[in-house]
């Protein structure tokens, strides 16, 4: 199958190349393989080490197992509210409708979930979700999903061993392989992906007419992040360099609860399921402070007293939700405010208390990983004492602009799914929506790539050899440069700049300072060097990653400067209000030469039948007067029909 071409580049022909071996990448690859397409899965790390395993709390899907009132329409409403109505409504609709099927599919493939007493998949509460909606396996849900998808890949390979005499005939995983450039055919169509094998340093060109980006986020742009080391914005940058747009890059999620002590594990995620299972946030005075931070747009849905909040767990139909279960952006800002006000914990966080809320045996049953994590790493017994937690960068809502139904970008043959794609979550992602997002849109991207291939026919785009040679020259440059910059020092400076000036709270003056500093750092990043050869050289790997990290930093800063309001994961201290006029604006990043350009485009409009799912009084908080005037009267018959359809779907499972 392989041969060595000119310039010592290994050439591997495929139909579909999936860059990323997490939840969305594996689900996309499985779909392409099920359609009979030769599929390569590129993993920057070892197979099974994907960041998806860090999604601990659960997978959001409106199955109604814990509360029969739940359905896709409620899930859709919660997702739009969480994203402050900046979401692409078609993506939110598809996600809400299809998430249950994707969970049941995993179950059929062997996934284990915690069960209710009557044998259904158990579901837990999470922030921003009206009903218990997260299918879970303790606090190790992401790990179980990755295990299941990997096992499905192995099962397909076993089938291929029987049918084709080769287990890797139709799907093969390339571990520890990094892609540095997407290659076109000279006419703007995808024709391949160029990179290197980390162990040997050997260059490789995956020749394929379709590429699916599933590379996750940009966490390594910030100093304290829950993200794994692979999250250097590779897919975002590859798409940008190939001519695609990135949207919503100003919206960076800072998850409210990460470990703050000891310093060696600062930024390690503390799952939201601690709060979903009854944990509460307290300041140094022992007070549950979240009642002070409920925004007006959410006040009707959240309890005003501790008594009502505690009653909600047993009787959600007659009480309002605890404010600890507000969307993540609200909780992160509240935690940050308490620390700034001098009411933080000894190590600069706040206290998360589950010990006084549940019996020890129940904590050990529901949160085994959290117990082990704190006991082993911080010598804290969470069944007896509170945890010290604080915000850290966790997710980016921004990503490649794609077609909601197919996952295709503006670049022919280029698709994206999961965190690397933009639009689904608007300005803020609800916890649990990430895992179902991976499954729903991973599958859709795989289908989209198959449909594109079928339209393309036998005449495949051929890689532009000049582009291949340029990619090889670019990759070799840090190894051939003498007296250059240390890539680790430049990376540290970028992280410090972004965290201190474009972090949770932003101002115009600070963002401008950041952009000026990034200009200087860009010159240094262009001159990074790595000693030694190309065989497993971490310094070289970091030098190549710096291009992507710099691009992401510039996109986030430029978009943050442009959006003069506060919404979701973007808080401007100098523009604290949320503006209906700005809700109509999506900011898109593109490249003009080497410069990041920001353009404004219209937010996708919501269909009338979806608008009818909301009370007009609620829409007044988000929409302009012009938009409100154009909303037709509700159609009760249509709404009732949709409800009946949702109920029928639930009853068949």
**Residue 621: both structure tokens together:** 């908080």
Q: Is 575 a catalytic residue?
A: no
Rounded to an integer, what is the distance from CA 410 to the centroid of its chain? 21
**DSSP run (H or E) holding 558:** helix 538-562
Q: Which residues are bridge partners to 607 per DSSP?
A: none
**Residue 171: both structure tokens together:** 């799907």
Secondary structure of 15-30 in the HEC alphabet? Answer: CEEEECCCHHHHHHHH
Q: Is 299 a catalytic residue?
A: no
The DSSP code sequence of 129-176 is: -SS--EE-STT-HHHHHHHHHHHHHHHHHHHHHHHHS-TTSSEEEE-S
Helix (H, G, I), strand (E, B) or coil at 585: strand
Q: Which of 198, 275, 320, 554 is catalytic?
A: 275
**Residue 350: both structure tokens together:** 């706040």
**DSSP run (H or E) holding 352:** strand 350-353
Give the Cα separation of 74 and 69 in Å (integer): 9
**Residue 585: both structure tokens together:** 């604006």
Q: Which of 51, 90, 102, 255 is catalytic?
A: 255
Tally the C-alpha atoms within 13 A of residue 545's C-alpha that lie toward its C-beta. Answer: 25
Distances in Å between the alpha carbon of 194 and those of 170, 262, 464?
20, 40, 11
Tally the C-alpha atoms within 13 A of residue 120's C-alpha that lie toward its C-beta. Answer: 18
Give the Cα separation of 17 and 7 in Å (integer): 22
Residue numbers annotated as active site: 255, 275
């Amino acid at each position: 199958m392989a041969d060595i071409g000119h310039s010592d580049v290994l050439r591997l022909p495929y139909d579909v190349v999936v860059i990323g071996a997490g939840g969305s990448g594996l689900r996309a690859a499985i779909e392409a393989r099920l359609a009979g397409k030769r599929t390569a899965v590129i993993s920057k790390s070892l197979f099974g080490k994907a960041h998806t395993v860090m999604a601990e709390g659960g997978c959001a899907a409106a199955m109604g197992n814990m509360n029969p009132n739940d359905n896709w329409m409620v899930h859709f409403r919660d997702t739009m509210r969480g994203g402050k109505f900046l979401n692409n409504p078609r993506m939110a609709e598809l996600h809400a409708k299809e998430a249950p099927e994707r969970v049941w599919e995993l179950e059929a493939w062997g996934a284990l979930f915690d069960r209710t007493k009557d044998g259904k998949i158990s579901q837990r509460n999470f922030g921003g979700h009206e009903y218990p909606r997260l299918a879970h396996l303790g606090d190790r849900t992401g790990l179980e999903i990755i295990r299941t998808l990997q096992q499905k890949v192995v099962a397909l390979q076993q089938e291929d061993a029987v049918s084709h005499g080769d287990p890797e005939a139709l799907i093969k995983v390339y571990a520890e392989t990094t892609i540095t450039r997407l290659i076109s055919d000279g006419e703007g169509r995808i024709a391949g992906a160029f990179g290197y094998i980390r162990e040997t340093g050997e260059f490789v060109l995956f020749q394929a007419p379709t590429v699916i980006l599933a590379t996750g986020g940009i966490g390594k742009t910030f100093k304290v992040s829950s993200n794994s080391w692979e999250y250097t914005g590779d897919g975002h940058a590859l798409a940008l360099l190939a001519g695609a747009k990135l949207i919503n890059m100003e919206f960076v999620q800072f998850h409210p609860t990460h470990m703050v002590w000891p310093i060696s594990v600062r930024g390690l995620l503390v799952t939201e399921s601690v709060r979903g299972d009854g944990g509460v946030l307290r300041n140094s005075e022992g007070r549950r402070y979240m009642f002070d931070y409920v925004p007006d747009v959410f006040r009707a849905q959240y309890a005003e007293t501790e008594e009502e909040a505690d009653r909600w767990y047993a009787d959600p139909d007659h009480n309002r939700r605890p404010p600890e279960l507000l969307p993540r952006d609200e909780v992160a800002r509240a935690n940050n405010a308490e620390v700034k006000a001098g009411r933080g914990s000894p190590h600069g966080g706040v206290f998360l208390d589950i010990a006084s809320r549940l019996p020890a045996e129940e904590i050990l049953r529901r949160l085994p990983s959290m117990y082990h994590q704190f006991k082993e790493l911080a010598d804290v017994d969470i069944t007896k004492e509170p945890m010290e937690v604080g915000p850290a960068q966790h997710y980016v809502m921004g990503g490649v602009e794609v077609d909601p139904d197919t996952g295709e970008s503006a670049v022919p043959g280029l698709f994206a799914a999961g965190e690397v794609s933009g639009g689904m979550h608007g300005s803020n992602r609800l916890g649990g929506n990430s895992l179902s997002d991976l499954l729903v849109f991973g599958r859709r991207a795989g289908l989209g790539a198959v449909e594109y291939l079928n339209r393309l026919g036998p005449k495949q785009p051929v890689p532009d050899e000049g582009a291949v040679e340029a990619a090889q020259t670019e990759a070799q440059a840090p190894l051939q440069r003498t007296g250059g910059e240390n890539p680790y020092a430049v990376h540290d400076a970028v992280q410090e700049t972004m965290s201190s000036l474009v972090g949770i709270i932003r101002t115009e003056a600070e963002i401008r300072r950041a952009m000026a500093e990034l200009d200087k750092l860009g010159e240094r990043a262009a001159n990074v060097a790595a000693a030694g050869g190309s065989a497993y050289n971490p310094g070289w790997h970091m030098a190549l990653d710096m291009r992507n990290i710099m691009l992401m930093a510039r996109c986030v800063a430029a978009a943050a400067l442009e959006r003069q309001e506060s919404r979701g994961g973007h808080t401007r201290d100098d523009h604290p209000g949320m503006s209906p006029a700005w809700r109509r604006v999506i900011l898109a990043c593109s490249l003009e030469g080497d410069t990041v350009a920001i353009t404004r485009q219209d937010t996708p409009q919501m269909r009338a039948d979806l608008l009818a799912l909301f009370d007009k009084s609620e829409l007044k908080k988000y929409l302009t007067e012009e938009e409100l005037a154009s909303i037709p009267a509700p159609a009760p018959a249509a709404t009732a029909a949709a409800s009946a359809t949702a109920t029928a779907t639930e009853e068949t499972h």
